[in-house]
Amino acid sequence: MRRLAGAGLAVVLVLAGCGDGGGSADQGGGPVALAAFPSAPSPPPPAASPDDFVGASACADCHADQYAAWSRSTHGRAGGAPSPDLLRAPFDGTPIVFADGVVIPERRGAETRFVVRQNGHDELVYTVDGVVGGGHMIGGGTQGFVTRMADGTVRFLPFDWSVTGAVWFCNTGSRLDEGWDPVTPEMALADCGDWPPVRPLGVVDRFGNCQGCHGSRIVVDDVPGEGYATTWTTLAVDCESCHGPGADHVASADAGTLASELGLSPLTGLGKDASLETCFACHALKDVVREGYLPGAPLAAYYALKFPMLGDEPYRADLRVRTFAYQGTHLGSQCYLDGPMDCVSCHEPHGQGYQDTNKRPLDSPFDDGQCLSCHASKARDVSAHTFHAPESEGSRCVSCHMPYLQHPEVGDGVPFARSDHTIPVPRPALDVEAGGASACGLCHADLSTTELQAAADAWWGELRPQREAIRGLRSGDAAAAALLHPGVVDPLAQFQGLTRFLSALPPDAPLDAAARERLEALAADPDLDVRALALATLHWSAGDDPTVRRLLVQALEADARGVLRDRQVLALGFLGDRYRDAGDWTRGLAGYQKALQLRPGDPALLSAAGQLYTRAGDLLNAVAAHRRSVEADGGRPMAWVNLGVALGASGDAAGARAAYERAVALNPHEAIAWNNLGNLALRAEDYAGAVDAYGRAVAADPGLAQAHFNLGRALIFLERYAEALPHARRAVEFDPDHEGSRQMLRDLEGVVGG
């Protein structure tokens, strides 16, 4: 593998010293000193601890009406222990039949469980420790089930129930890329992406996860020497999920001082953005910028709502859902951009019923009162606006402007349609051109898009033009004039334009004057995410230009809470990851270096840079970066694993062993560390030691194909062929393209029998 230009100890020194603001830029008049970035502020202490929460029952006596409404609501019935009252799935012993076995959902006394009988393997039993979802959602309700694992995480089982479709299904997205598929006798267990269970409740940076939304106060703590500890108040969504911790409020009420000491800030009367933030804690895509969020804390300090668009495309160019998303598309609606609309404009917050903007209750989500309380003129002659009979489906506001659409990434096998919160104007031709469905076509499937567009033109004439930023996204043009739109209020579209512009921009690339002017204007945008990504783009492209550097420094000096810096680091670190994974070591290193300028010595960034060096074959720098990472924070098992990999690749087997042993001392369930310890034992011909280590690896992560393959090899060396056979099967099950595993399975079946 070639070495990076200028690689060697000097590069590590650059990483070590990149926070001092030193350097120079050739501006034609000689070196110019660059302004130093200000030091990162210390993270503020958490606004609350789990002990500050008292649970919904503490609210019942004083707030009886609200409590009663909540307890009947979809939030109040959103999950919990697997009681007969909550379970909608049939745990009646009827097998779920797969191609390679059966899964039996059953209740044994007070225990709810899945019994897995897979061909060629011992029976497994997974206890259901929690139920997520009540199957209440219009358009497709589901229930999922979680089990507590040996490492202390609580993970989703791969067997989900569609209440609407009355069918068991699993998510094949990470294996077959076919979305949610009903289980059939043609489907293998390994087609399910969560088999074996891998996705935990709560924020665990070691795994893809569902954050803390499917319950209240889901907290996952690292427990050195054990793994994790997962706790929650309830798997429902309770009062404090929206209002924040209630301990002070309850104490004030008990002490009779409530009139002067509320202990809780009222949510009534919040501005639209603050109100939306309360709901977007769960009802929007978001990236973690800092761990430890609890309800009541400022959401922006912990999550970035628009950053999932960086590196992915969850939204189409018209801001409607392209893959899988929640209600964050509300930020792309004209009702939000041009008006005061927030979630409680339509949704009554306690009972989850429906209301108009004057808080008058409505009978259903399809009641036109939601819209007509603002657009009253449309009620004078409904048919003149809709060109449909007044009481027909085609005259309902939501049929055209908030149609229920199946989320594309889910596929069509399981009902999962959600109301379109962009609240678009129907544009049949443009909607289809953008890759989606036309609201008109949902009802008039017998008509072509051309026919539907012709009818729309005849009825409504020239429609309101699409917004400038959306037109730019739709154009496919990568130029700044198409993608960068300062001075408008359209944050979701502006952010998506920035991501496209940044993705096509090399590091330290010259910017033309017009692009730079637009970026500098966006760097002062009122939206935090837009402002941060504009600054990161300037840093990436022109961070060594003195004028740009001063702008970056001034922005950070005004960033007292560090929320802007967090997002810039997230963006630059993403660029490092993106180019590292593409094998572009120079650009990947540029991303990490620029991120480290903002947060010198950050252990996660140093670890990421170390992985880049390892892949590039620059082992001297890899070891140095990983050592600095564990010196900065020695409590992360995977950081020690990565150090061990670099040390092992450089020939230091003893150092690698020590690093892996440190990892398993921190977390005895760290599968990759055990697998790598097994590799060291196998190379030393310590086959019994290898079997022990590999056995611990597959016990910690039963889906780790490499560890099953290695365990099979070690058992073969000991001539324990019958014991090796199930692990060869697992290796092929989870990595069917690995020729070594397939050959091992053929050989063992020849010796032991199929």
Written in H, E and C, the secondary structure of 667-716 is CCCCHHHHHHHHHHHHHCCCHHHHHHHHHHHHHHCCCCHHHHHHHHHHHH
Which of the four pLDDT bands, split at 50, 70 and 90, describes residue 126?
very high
Give every CB contact of residue 106 below 8 A, 6+ residues apart in sequence: 91, 92, 93, 112, 113, 114, 115
Identify the pLDDT of residue 451: 95
Is residue 6 scored above 60 in pLDDT? no
CB 618 within 8 A of CB 4: yes
Give every CB contact of residue 534 below 8 A, 6+ residues apart in sequence: 498, 519, 520, 522, 523, 525
Neighbours of 752 (CB within 10 A): 13
pLDDT, tens digit (0-9, with 9 covering 90-100), for 398-407: 999 999 999 9
Axis crossing angle, helix 528-542 with helix 513-522, rounded to the nearest 10 = 140
**Which residue pairs, CB below 8 angstroms and at least 24 apart, start in 633-637?**
633/603, 634/662, 635/222, 635/224, 635/666, 636/603, 636/607, 636/666, 637/663, 637/664, 637/666, 637/667, 637/670, 637/673
Cα R_g (the chain), whole angstroms: 28
Identify the pLDDT of residue 261: 63
pLDDT, tens digit (0-9, with 9 covering 90-100), for 153-194: 999 999 999 999 999 999 999 899 999 999 999 999 999 999
Residue 17 buriedness (CB in 10 A; 0-12 / 13-18 / 19+): middle
CB 489 within 8 A of CB 336: no
Mean pLDDT computed over 615-634: 98
CA distances from 291 to 52, 224, 601, 695 (A): 18, 18, 18, 32
Residue 619 buriedness (CB in 10 A; 0-12 / 13-18 / 19+): buried
Identify the pLDDT of residue 5: 30
The pTM score is 0.93
**Closest listed residue to residue 603, CA positions, set 641, 576, 630, 638:** 630
Identify the pLDDT of residue 205: 83
Which of the four pLDDT bands, split at 50, 70 and 90, describes residue 311?
confident
Identify the pLDDT of residue 379: 87
Mean pLDDT computed over 357-364: 92
**Closest listed residue to residue 321, CA positions, set 414, 397, 418, 180:** 418
Give every CB contact of residue 274 below 8 A, 6+ residues apart in sequence: none
CA distances from 232 to 74, 81, 243, 479, 706 (A): 18, 12, 17, 48, 34
Q: What is the largest CA-CA distance in the chain?
A: 86
| Average model confidence (pLDDT) across the chain | 92
> Residue 381 and residue 348: Cα distance in Å, rounded?
28
Neighbours of 571 (CB within 10 A): 28
Neighbours of 42 (CB within 10 A): 7
CB 100 within 8 A of CB 118: yes
Between CA 68 and CA 78, with CA 72 as vertex, the angle to 5 degrees is: 125
Is residue 31 scored above 80 in pLDDT? no
> Residue 310 and residue 302: Cα distance in Å, rounded?
17
Is residue 658 scored above 70 in pLDDT? yes
Residues linked to residue 181 through DSSP beta bridges, in sequence order: 170
Identify the pLDDT of residue 435: 87
pLDDT, tens digit (0-9, with 9 covering 90-100), for 678-713: 999 999 999 999 999 999 999 999 999 999 999 999
Is residue 147 scored above 90 in pLDDT? yes
Axis crossing angle, helix 546-557 with helix 513-522, rounded to the nearest 10 = 10
CB 422 within 8 A of CB 333: yes
> Residue 57 and residue 144: Cα distance in Å, rounded?
25
Between residues 257 and 92, which one has the greater pLDDT?
92
Between residues 135 and 263, which one has the greater pLDDT?
135
Identify the pLDDT of residue 260: 65
Identify the pLDDT of residue 256: 85
Please report, to the nearest 10 degrees, the dihedral formed by the alpha carbons of residues 409, 415, 416, 420 taken in order.
Answer: 100
